[in-house]
Every structure is written in structure tokens, then in C-alpha cells.
Amino acid sequence: MPVQVRATVLTARRVDAYHALTLVAPAIATRFRPGQFITVAVGGPETSMLGRRAFAVYDVRPDHGGTVEFVFEALGPGTRWLAALRARDGVDAVGPLGRPFPVPKDPSRCLLLGVGYGSAASHLVPGPRASNTNSTVPP
């Protein structure tokens, strides 16, 4: 069941061409499952930007204060506003949203695909990460 919270920014950092925000949001973190996402209101309380922005979650730490981290690219006014946030700023967040994907109980082969910051969610898939050295991906 999703919840709406006033989350506090714990960390705001650059990751190459992207930005990463870690929010303190225990009510979201404890409910989160791989494959789900969050939405964040952008622009502050006096903004004309009414639509929320949806983000794939990079990391969740329910046992470390209840944090949720997401990665994004500052392309438009909403994500540029997010990129300007600093530690201790507040944001309105809703989550977890979406249908979680099932995680196999037994070891299995899988292929995880992602482009840009959208590949952040594959970080939450449990188990060892191995690559097949016989396959190549063009740049």
C-alpha cells in the first residue's frame, strides 16, 4: 500500500552526468519491493508544476533509518529543481508504487537491461552479479 510522506533529503550528490538523492522515508522504505518506484512532487509548495515525477529506486535501506535513493538526470525544470536540493530539505514523496517483480527462490539466469539512469533499479535484484564474457554490447 503506497503512502504519501514528507521526506527529508539526507544526501544530494553528483554521479557523473546524473544526480542522486537519498531521502529519509521509513514508511516507504519498509514497504518497498524490487520493481517498484516512487513519485516526487517538484517545484516546492508555490509552484505551477503540478505533475509528480516518477523515479526508479536505486537503493533502499529500511534498517538504516529508512532511506530511499534514486538517480536522475536534470533535464527539465522539475528535475533541475530536484538537483538543487540539499541535505535537510524536504520533499513530498509517494511510494512504493507499481507491481513488484517476483524474485526467484532458486538460482537462475537472467538478463537485466537498462538505459541511462533507468538502469538504477537493477541494482536491487538480489544475488551475485555475473557477466557472460562471450557476449558484447555495442556502445
Could you please report the per-residue DSSP string of 45-98?
A: TT-S--S-EEEEEEEEETTTTSEEEEEE---SHHHHHHHT--TT-EEEEEEEES
The yes-or-no verdict on residue 113 having pLDDT over 80 is: no
Average pLDDT over residues 23-36: 94
Q: What is the pTM of this model?
A: 0.79
pLDDT reported for residue 126: 53
